[in-house]
Chains A and B, each alone.
Chain A
Amino acid sequence: MRRYNFVALVLIDLVMLLLIFFGSQKAKKGNFHSAIEEMQTVTEIFKLSDVCLSTEAKYLRHLSAAEYFAAFQDHPLALEHFPGGSIIPPPRLTLTRDKGR
């Protein structure tokens, strides 16, 4: 590798590192705190228990209220077929009695 190529690559790296550094500083200073505070307020006021990751099926929209056997949520043989169901696994419950349900 020629010397000027070497120096150019080092300079490019430095510029990119600076961009990442200042970009992340700016992102941290952004209005995310106010967004989180707003979401926390809404969650507290309306006593929400879930976030809106998918609106395909009720057991994907409200994971907290989903059954443990989520694949058969609505009626026997109601096989899971929503795309979201493949990336949102059933809830993790600790109270043993629920696991049987």
Chain B
Amino acid sequence: MREKARSIAIASVLCIIVGLSASVIFAVRSLQKEVELILDKSPDLLVQKMVAGFHEPIPVYYAERIKSQKGVKEVKGRLWGYYYHSGSRANLTIRGVECPEIGFGLERGSIAVGRAVLGVIPRGGNSLIMRSYDGRIREFQIRSMFSEKSELATADLIVMCESDFRDFFCMSPEVFTDLAVTVVNPAERMTVAEKILAMLPDARVIPKEDVLRSYRAVFDWRGGLILTALMSLVASVWLVAWGKAMAIGRTERYEIGMLRALGWHVSDIIFVKMMESALLACTAFIGGILLAYIHVFVFSAVLFEPVLKGWSVLYPSFRYINDVRIWDVVTLFLLIVGPYIGSAIFPCWKVATQEPDFAMRGQ
């Protein structure tokens, strides 16, 4: 009975460790994939003007100069900025666009908002009141809302007309926040970036590759950080498994002795004991993977939310896409289940090689 309870306890701990580790891997892989797919449609190059190391609005004529470069297909000025909503202590991202060409039913005085922005609006309200940079109180009607499916890209986003944006932030029509450049041949992105940098020494050019690489690094680092914390738990499981293996129970010792007395070979006994441990560990492992699936893809990795959220007031509700890779699962299996099975074989071999009567008497 004690043997059984001990096995169940070890299997449960193993199951939870596998579940947590697999959750991290599944969530990180999913976000990596999702971000890569989304940012695939982001501008080829971003050009910002720098003044004394700070990002400043870029003059419109910079766009003309960049457009004259060979290999440049299109240059669009971007208008965007931040607004700190003091009532809710939330940071909002505001984007100015050409109305009504852009769609979304936008016209002067109206805005399109992301789902999380609704959190700063009083219940039942259909407008957002903000204080403009010249001190006026402005009310914007909410014309449309981005769907919850696009929250990862639009959670804290407010889109308004260019004229409203310039009016709100008291921004001259001679400048943009930065420029989005589309190149003719994506393979020449870096060459065009270097050309722009040579032509405009006070500019900062950010190629799409850099953005993607930065985000990839975020997830590798973030996942690595959590996995490092979990490694101590994995190590403790190894320790428990090793402890269990070293102190083989009286019943099990008797059982091995009996099998030997009945004429079983040492190799047969080791094989049977290995199968038992493997089955127990596999059950725990599969249970852990199932837990991870439910945690990440059904409950949107709710346990990790506090880590990811930090002090963000507005936060998107992630919907993870399934991008589980078989090698991640195999690595986890070898890391956690392998040592457990290995540690079960050694004591069985030790007992099985004794004389059967010694083994049965527990000497």
Q: A residues touching B (Cβ–Cβ < 8 Å)?
A: 1, 6, 9-10, 12-13, 16-17, 19-20, 23-24, 27-28, 31-32, 34-36, 38-58, 61-65, 67, 82-84, 86-95, 97-98, 101
Q: Which of B35, B37, B197 contacts A97 (CB 8 A)?
A: B197
- For residue B34, which residue of chain A has the nearest CB? A36
Closest 10 CB pairs of A and B: A83-B310, A35-B149, A84-B310, A91-B214, A27-B322, A44-B41, A47-B180, A55-B312, A43-B41, A52-B155
Of B65-73, B262-270, B275-283, B349-357, the one contacting chain A is B275-283
- For residue A98, which residue of chain B has the nearest CB? B204
Asked if A24 and B210 make an inter-chain contact with CB atoms under 8 angstroms apart, the answer reads no
Asked if A52 and B156 make an inter-chain contact with CB atoms under 8 angstroms apart, the answer reads yes
Q: Which of B154, B293, B311 contacts A52 (CB 8 A)?
A: B154
Given the known interface contacts A13-B282, A20-B286, A35-B150, the answer about A52 and B316 at a Cβ–Cβ threshold of 8 Å is: yes
Asked if B193 and A16 make an inter-chain contact with CB atoms under 8 angstroms apart, the answer reads no
Asked if A13 and B34 make an inter-chain contact with CB atoms under 8 angstroms apart, the answer reads no
Asked if A55 and B313 make an inter-chain contact with CB atoms under 8 angstroms apart, the answer reads yes
Given the known interface contacts A16-B287, A52-B151, A93-B210, the answer about A46 and B42 at a Cβ–Cβ threshold of 8 Å is: no
**Is B190 in the interface zone, CB < 8 Å from A?**
yes
Known: A9-B280, A19-B290, A91-B210. 13 other contacts (CB 8 A): A1-B276, A9-B279, A13-B279, A24-B322, A35-B319, A44-B41, A46-B97, A47-B180, A52-B93, A84-B308, A87-B221, A95-B210, A101-B53
Q: Chain B, 203-223, contact with A by CB distance < 8 Å: what is the 0/1 string? A: 011110111011101100110
- For residue A86, which residue of chain B has the nearest CB? B225
Given the known interface contacts A36-B38, A38-B150, A95-B194, the answer about A82 and B207 at a Cβ–Cβ threshold of 8 Å is: no
Given the known interface contacts A32-B321, A64-B46, A95-B205, the answer about A50 and B312 at a Cβ–Cβ threshold of 8 Å is: no
CA distance A52 to B153 in the complex (A): 6
Question: Which chain B residues border A52 with CB–CB below 8 Å?
Answer: 93, 114, 116, 151-157, 314, 316
Q: Which of B38, B53, B225 contacts A39 (CB 8 A)?
A: B38
Q: Which of B50, B222, B287 contacts A101 (CB 8 A)?
A: B50
| Most A Cβ at <10 Å: residue of B38, B39, B324 | B38
CA distance A38 to B289 in the complex (A): 30
- For residue B92, which residue of chain A has the nearest CB? A55
Q: Which of A34, A35, A54 contacts B312 (CB 8 A)?
A: A54
- For residue A33, which residue of chain B has the nearest CB? B321
Asked if A84 and B312 make an inter-chain contact with CB atoms under 8 angstroms apart, the answer reads yes
Question: Which chain B residues border A42 with CB–CB below 8 Å?
Answer: 146, 150, 153-154
| Most B Cβ at <10 Å: residue of A13, A44, A87, A90 | A87
Question: Which chain B residues border A9 with CB–CB below 8 Å?
Answer: 279-280, 283
**Is B343 in the interface zone, CB < 8 Å from A?**
no
Q: How far is the CB of A58 from chain B (nearest CB, A)?
A: 6
Question: Which chain A residues border B147 with CB–CB below 8 Å?
Answer: 38
Question: Which chain A residues border B221 with CB–CB below 8 Å?
Answer: 87, 89
Q: How far is the CB of B277 from chain A (nearest CB, A)?
A: 10
Q: Which of B102, B194, B307, B319 contacts A32 (CB 8 A)?
A: B319
Question: Which chain B residues border A64 with CB–CB below 8 Å?
Answer: 42, 46, 206, 210-211, 214
Q: Chain B, 129-171, contact with A by CB distance < 8 Å: what is the 0/1 string? A: 0000000000000000011011111111101000000000000
Q: Which of B78, B93, B103, B178 contacts A61 (CB 8 A)?
A: B93
Given the known interface contacts A32-B322, A94-B207, the answer about A47 and B225 at a Cβ–Cβ threshold of 8 Å is: no
Q: Chain B, 21-47, contact with A by CB distance < 8 Å: what is the 0/1 string? A: 000000000000011011111110010
